[in-house]
Amino acid sequence: MAAESKGANKGDSMWAKGLLLGKGIARLIADSVNRLWHASVRSGEAEIPLNLSPERKRQLVSRLEEQLRKPPAHHSNKALSSREKELVRELQEHTALLNRNNLTRTAAYLEFYGKHPDIHWALLAHMVSRNGGWNMTDLRGELLPRLLDEGEIESVFDMLETANALIFQDAFPQLLLYERSRTWNRPLFHLLPWLHVSRFMQPMWELFWDEGSSALITIALIINEQNYIQARVAEHPRFQDHALHSLMRLTQAATQTNQIIFPCKSAPAESSAVGRAAGSKATASAGRPAAAYPGAEAAPSPSQAADAMGMPIRAGNPGKPWPLYGRVLENFPDLDERIEIGKQLYALLFGLPSARDGFHRFAREVPHSGSRADYWPHLFQDAATQTAFPSSYTERLNGCALREGASRLCSPRLPAAWPDRPLAAPERYDWFRDLSPVAHLSAARAGAPAELTRLHCAGLRKLELAILARELID
């Protein structure tokens, strides 16, 4: 009788947990639809015109046709001077040095943009690369390891790291060559084939040199880099079977896993503690609840959370986290979708007046660590890795905040999550084989919705619910 009673109690408990979980999922779906509709009503459309006249576009297409008639590699008949050969070697070595990991790449993009703000793509690459780092550390954080096995985690990291490194390996020598062209006071883009850069890019850089269209070179680089990784990553058998399958499962569980977000940092005039913003750990206070696991910190008080976010502290209103803008990438293998998402992100980053300064301020003032505590320390901390987590998960989230007394979610810094991995030599071939990429040479438009703050919170909540559901089933 006691055993039967115990079994019945366990069944009742599971039934109650399942009922609560079902209610949570239904409430989350309703809230997400409502908030997304309000976000799209509030968001205006950002646009960056290409400013390419019909005549100039015809000339550009003619140049591209000429490039296609040449052999794919080292097609220039001109012999390089010893000085040019040394330059090519120097640019390749410098790129390899900075291509050590996601942190070095992300910092290199920002440093270059600081010196050459006409190259908008460098800042765009910096912000997108930050997202790459956050996605990498998520794999060693507190949530995703409860949904993926170690083999899947390794496969997804391998894909993320390879894509991040390949883009840098291809694009950064181009940026350095532009910088050296300015130093030498003459265009050096005939050297691009010796840097293994696609024939598609030489006419783009030459036109940019002549006319200075930041939009043109940015959109051209978006087209080039996404084509560069299409067969090498997005369609490569090495990633198709394991990494992309795992990512698709995660995407079905939570949209947070395929969001590209740009945090919008408050201006100093709006902030009470700008210098202590991202990545900082809240000061311990008397009476705070104990942490959920060794190394974890309990949630700060509302005033501490607001202070850590650099927001004004007012009675009855502790302030809100920095808002997040961005896009959701639905289908990573789709080349056209990735190019269009890249253009939309460009339009957001440089063409959304209400948030542009906040994006740039975040890039300048918040060092990239790989931890999501960089932008939301009220929800995330970088204090531990997955080895410190308890076997069962405790529900933490309440909308965009933590439940009372809950500890913050662990989001480790990149060095604590992943050691450096040397990049294997990429396959050498030119992706540019016809004029179809010309269709993407158009204005960059962001569309709506632009703000993803609520959607980001909903994605985290969906991950949490997926974990609770899995533990209930197991």
Q: Give residues with Cβ within 8 angstroms of 100, minimum separation 6.
A: 420
Amino acid at 428: R
Please give the pLDDT value at position 294: 38
Q: How far apart are CA 165 and CA 177, in angstroms?
A: 18
The enclosing H or E element of 409 equals strand 409-410
Break the chain down into helix, strand, coil percent, rounded to 5: 60, 5, 35
Residue numbers of the chain with a pLDDT score lower than 70? 1-44, 72-78, 242-257, 269-319, 384-388, 474
Q: How far apart are CA 459 and CA 400, in angstroms?
A: 10
Please give the pLDDT value at position 314: 26
Domain range summary for the chain, segments of one domain joined by +:
56-265+322-371+412-421+433-473
pLDDT digits over 85-133, tens only?
A: 999 999 999 999 999 999 999 999 999 999 999 999 999 999 999 999 9
pLDDT digits over 18-77, tens only?
A: 444 444 444 544 444 444 434 433 445 789 999 899 999 999 999 999 999 987 655 555
Q: Classify residue 226 as exposed, middle or buried by CB count within 10 Å of its CB (0-12, 13-18, 19+).
A: buried
CA 418 from chain centre, in angstroms, equals 17
Please give the pLDDT value at position 276: 39
Please give the pLDDT value at position 101: 98
- Paired tokens of 230: 């299409």
Looking up tokens 């209610």, which residue turns up?
Answer: 23
Please give the pLDDT value at position 470: 85
